[in-house]
Structure 1
Amino acid sequence: MAENKIFAGPRVRRIRNGLSLTQTAMAEALGISPSYLNLIERNQRPLTVQLLLKLASVYKVDLDELQGETGGSLTQLREVFADPLLSAELPGEQELIEVAEAAPNAAGGVVKLYRAYREQAARLRDLADLLAGQGHMEALSGTRLPMDEVRETFEGRPNYFAGIEAAAEAFHEALSPGDDLIGALKAWLKKEHGLVVRSLPVHAMPNLRRRFDRHSMRLFVSERLSPYDQLREIAMEAVSIACHEAITAELGSLRLSTAEARRIARFELARYGAHALMMPYAAFLAAAQRAKYDLDVLRARFQVSFEQAANRLTMLQRPGAQGLPFFLMEIDNAGHRLRRAGASGFPQAKFGGGCPKLNIHAAFSVPGQLLVDRVEMPDGAAFLTIARTLEGPQAAFHERVRRTALLLGCEASFADETVYGSVLLPAVEIGAGCRLCERQGCLARAEPPVTRPLGLDEMATGLSVFDFQ
């Protein structure tokens, strides 16, 4: 029977060094020559089963230590080299395996250094946001991915594109869809462009929402999507064709730096155009004002989802015909920020959006329920916030449901113009985010503020583990 062979030279060297043995002494104890042991330690010869047993017998070595994977160290190195700054440095992970095996202490040092770098970068961003909010300097940003650039561009400007609104309005008038927009869009796509829309089951298109097949001229939409999301996908395809010039013009005005960023932004502008087509500006604004911005009334009136109606409310900024200046934020249940937008840009400096006491976080405990709060910042600025969970595409039996939460907000001075203003309770005291908030005794504090030293006192401790002076 052929012997199983294991290359574990760096591990053998660590064992020898840990016992303060020379190669000659260990080789003698194992019954091999020093030169052969040298070859083993340099991974030029394997550890045979006999040598493994000898090591276990002579030095009481756990065989799992020699045969096991590098495990945690390798996983941590993968995390480090997945960073955009380093992702192009290695052609594969073989070098990571060699580093993790040959120099585990050095690998651990690299991981610690990387985590310290990330911590300092986070502190720098927080301080930059704080100073920007006080008007001392512009917010700083580090190395950005194209998606980061697109997000910052959209979040920092009003969520209103006049050219796309006008083109979508004209397209809607030409369609004259009545109460059957999806039927009108399918008919237009087939008549004008020979494009047939088909829904596909999960097994036929497991990983896509929508796919356009140029060869067969068919647009496939996943059955995973709700009827509202299927309509939006079809509307995005139609708007991309019918409003191409308007989208291209608005895209050029954004002045993005890379082709990938422009591709992502074009997708976002097509989504904007789809909302404008599904909820025509004048009709939607009039309905919103009559219903006092009641989202449930609006979603039923225009046959759209809660998320689509909330998005549209942030877009009502046409000169001379403006709605309330809403802003929105969407997160997942791990706290990752998925998107932010606003009628005047997302109010990062004034509102922040990072406080754990916001009702967007509580929404996950009551899926589908609308939560309304009046919140107050340390400087006295107050906001109306409306939060609710959103359900993602239909999950299969073995899959976990994708659930996110959406927060729609506006300054509290506009609350009485909404249906939600009459049910507000006393204000919830929040901050821009734990690192920037100096509220004392906050039960929800998750991190110390970057602006104050920790107040460690052996004689007394406060309500928060991060008490500060």
Structure 2
Amino acid sequence: MAIQKLYAGAKLREIRTRLALTQKDFAAKLGVSLPYLNQMENNNRPVSTTVILGLAQEFGLDVTELSTGDSERMVSDLREALADPVFADTVPPLADLRLAASNAPTLARAFIELHRAYRQTHERLASLDEALGREDTRLQPSPWDEVRDFFHYCDNYIDAVDRAAEHFAERAGPDIRAGTLRHLAARGVTVTFAVMDLLRSYDAETQTLRLSARAAPATQLFQMLLQTALLDQDKLLEATLDFARFQSDAARAIAKIGLANYFAGAAMMPYGTFLNAAQTCRHDLEVLATTFGASIEQVAHRLSTMQRPGAKGIPFFFVRVDQAGTITKRHSATRLQFARFGGACPLWNVHRAFETPGQFLRQLAETPDGVRYINLARDVSKPGGAWGAPVRRYAISLGCELRHAGALVYADDLDLTTAAAFEPIGISCRICERKTCHQRSVPPLERRLSIDNDQRDVLPYRVE
């Protein structure tokens, strides 16, 4: 396989600006000429080995910052936006999209936001009665989507919150549950457990935290840590929200809960300790869940956040879907990106997890760009805790590129060398280039179709 050249002009400029250096001074410290640095910053040339070594030796930077995945994420988001039928006759080639994402990331992101606003306008027009009945019909991004994109483009890693959680865990001691209870008691908070519909209820006036007695111990601990974040880390959370500049109060409120959730997960599974444990047990989710008193979903989600500069774990993707195939959580530190609209590819093993409750399903998969992955899927249904209480049914998938398979216990005994062992998967049917997929729901926009009235295969058309 050919080595892919690294074009990271925007990231290089960002690093130089962060260091408060002129192009001339930056070039001198990196040992390259000013014109050569200028060409690299404008993506006219790939980043050279000399520059990569200079960044590491001269500035002590984690050079993986140059390929954090933002460009690939934007290319994927651009492709999906341009897969909208409104662009059917004007879809630019993939090379142009990569150029736009690398050379003009701000413009690319603005286009993605514009398309999202367009989609929301369509959705509002589709339900005109509801739209006319609202007092405020200004065009704004969905608060939920806005928050999801914030975490998406932060690599799902928030350094300040992660380190604050790690410091809290160190102070709490080896028994994080007992330590959290002591901490809350020391600040005057009374924790009680009661049979109730809510998972968590906090009364600020009486400083009483009530937790559901029916919830699993991992859920109870998570909710205690979440409340701890809201009580102890309010200034940190608010400062992070100020930096994000959300467009609505609703988005800011959702993001605050998201950051508190992040703190809770990071405190249950402190970065350094968790990373060492994951590497030691070769990322065995059940071992990690037992070690840290967490659920399988909490462990899988935490693994997808291990992107601390200078101490990165394996780049995982993580996704959670409901029974309808709708993605309810998504994050990828890999080149594989998820559809922003609609469900996940039906060929992913995550959809089959509902058929085998309590079991892990393994899958070797290959995307249309030729990248191979190892995927793990399992159902994570959540009982209501009582007869007649509703059960929430989800399935999760955790995966990484095949080159990391040796670090996963789940890759043992799998045939990683035979091409036929890898199932063809995609992202979204509209942007998937596969010609022979038997599960295709709509034709790809970038391909011509051939229709023969006298022949019928699985699909009523043939992709050329």
User: Do the structures match in fold with TM over 0.5?
Assistant: yes
Alpha-carbon distance in structure 2 between the residues aligned to 1:161 and 1:243: 14
Q: Provide the residue aligned with 1:135 in structure 2.
A: 98
Confirm or deny that 1:187 pairs with 2:182: yes
| Alpha-carbon displacement from aligned partner over 1:250-288 (angstroms, at most 9, x marks no partner) | 222222211111111111111111111111111111111
Range moving further from structure 2, 218-227 or 449-458: 449-458
CA distance in 1, matches of 2:297, 2:95: 30
Deviation at 1:344, TM superposition (A): 6.4
Aligned CA distance change for structure 1 residues 286 and 121 (closer, same or farther; 3 Å): closer
Q: Do structure 1's residue 283 and structure 2's residue 288 form an aligned pair?
A: no
Looking at structure 1, the residues matched to 91 and 194 of structure 2 have their Cα atoms a distance apart, in angstroms, of: 47
Contact kept? 2:152, 2:331, Cα under 8 Å: yes
Residue in 2 aligned with 1:458?
Answer: 453
Q: Distance in 1 between matches of 2:285 and 2:335?
A: 21
Q: Pick from 147, 162, 165: which aligns with 1:165?
A: 162
Q: Spell out, residue by residue over 1:195-250, the C-alpha distance to the aligned partner (whole angstroms, 9 max, x if none).
A: 1112221xxx32x2211112332111223421111110111011222223332232
Contact preservation (8 Å) 1:157, 1:344: no
Equivalent residue, structure 2, for 1:332: 322
Cα distance, 1:433 vs. partner? 1.8
- Whether 2:200 is the aligned partner of 1:200: answer no
In structure 2, distance between residues paired with 1:195 and 1:253:
30
Structure 2 equivalent of residue 354 of structure 1: 344
Q: Distance between the aligned counterparts of 1:419 and 1:319, measured in 2?
A: 25
Which residue in the other structure is 1:382 paired with? 372
2:149 alignment counterpart: 152
Aligned length: 343
CA distance in 1, matches of 2:95, 2:290: 41
Q: Does the 8 Å contact 2:451/2:460 carry over to 1?
A: no
TM-score (norm 1): 0.67
Q: Give the corresponding residue for 1:365.
A: 355
Seen in structure 2, the aligned counterparts of structure 1 residues 216 and 121 have a Cα distance that, compared at 3 Å, is farther
Shift of the 199–125 alpha-carbon distance from structure 1 to 2, 3 Å rule, reads: farther
Indicate which of 230, 233, 253 corresponds to 2:243: 253
What amino acid does structure 1 have at the position aligned with 2:179? A
Residue 447 of structure 1 aligns with an amino acid whose one-letter code is V
Deviation at residue 446 of structure 1 after TM alignment: 2.1
CA offsets 1:330-353 (integer angstroms, 9 cap, x no match): 110101111112346973489x98
How many Å apart are 1:359 and its aligned residue?
0.5
Q: TM-score, normalised by structure 2?
A: 0.68
Name the residue aligned to 1:80: none
Q: Which residue among 211, 220, 225 is the counterpart of 1:221? A: 211
- Between 1:431-440 and 1:373-382, the stretch displaced more is 431-440
Distance in 1 of aligned mates of 2:298 and 2:91: 33
Match 1:428 to one of 423, 441, 448: 423
Partners of 2:335 and 2:237 in 1: CA distance: 19
Cα distance change, pair 228–124 in 1 and its aligned pair in 2 (3 A): farther
Q: Against the structure 1 CA distance between its residues 123 and 416, is the aligned structure 2 distance closer, same or farther, given a 3 Å change threshold?
A: farther
Note the C-alpha offset of 1:400.
Answer: 4.5
User: Structure 1 pair 300/121, CA: closer, same or farther in 2 (3 Å)?
Assistant: same
> Where do 1:17-416 residues align within 5 Å?
123=85, 134-135=97-98, 138=108, 139=112, 140-142=115-117, 143=120, 144-176=141-173, 178-179=174-175, 181-192=176-187, 194-201=188-195, 205-206=196-197, 208-343=198-333, 347-348=337-338, 354-394=344-384, 396-416=386-406
Look up the equivalent residue of 1:141 and give its one-letter code.
R
- Alpha-carbon distance in 2 for matches of 1:255, 1:242: 22
> Do the aligned partners of residues 460 and 359 (structure 1) sit closer, same or farther apart at CA in structure 2, a change above 3 Å counting?
same
| CA RMSD of superposed structures (Å) | 2.9
Q: Structure 1, residues 294-317: CA drift from partner, whole Å, max 9, x if none?
A: 111111111111011111111212
Report the 3-state secondary structure (helix = DSSP H, G, I; strand = E; otherwise coil) of the residue aligned with 2:193.
strand
Which of the pair has more CA radius of gyration? Answer: 1
Deviation at 1:406, TM superposition (A): 0.8
Q: Which amino acid aligns with 1:298?
A: L
- C-alpha separation between the residues in 2 aligned to 1:131 and 1:245? 43
> Contact 1:447/1:466 (CA < 8 Å) preserved in 2?
no
Following TM superposition, by how much is the alpha carbon of 1:173 offset from its aligned partner in structure 2, in angstroms?
2.1
* Cα distance in 1 for residues equivalent to 2:321 and 2:268: 24
State the alpha-carbon separation in 1 of the partners of residues 96 and 292 from structure 2.
38
2: CA distance, partners of 1:248 / 1:232: 21
Kept in 2: contact 1:441–1:463 (CA 8 A): no
Q: Structure 2, unaligned stretches of length 5 or more?
A: 1-80, 101-107, 121-140, 416-420
Paired with 1:448 and 1:258, the residues of 2 have a C-alpha distance of 37
Residue pair 2:177, 2:221 contacting (<8 A) in 1 also: yes
SS of residue matched to 1:361:
helix
**CA deviation string 1:133-181 (max 9, x = no partner):** 94265333223211111112212331111111221122222222x23x2
Change (3 A) 1:346 1:444: closer
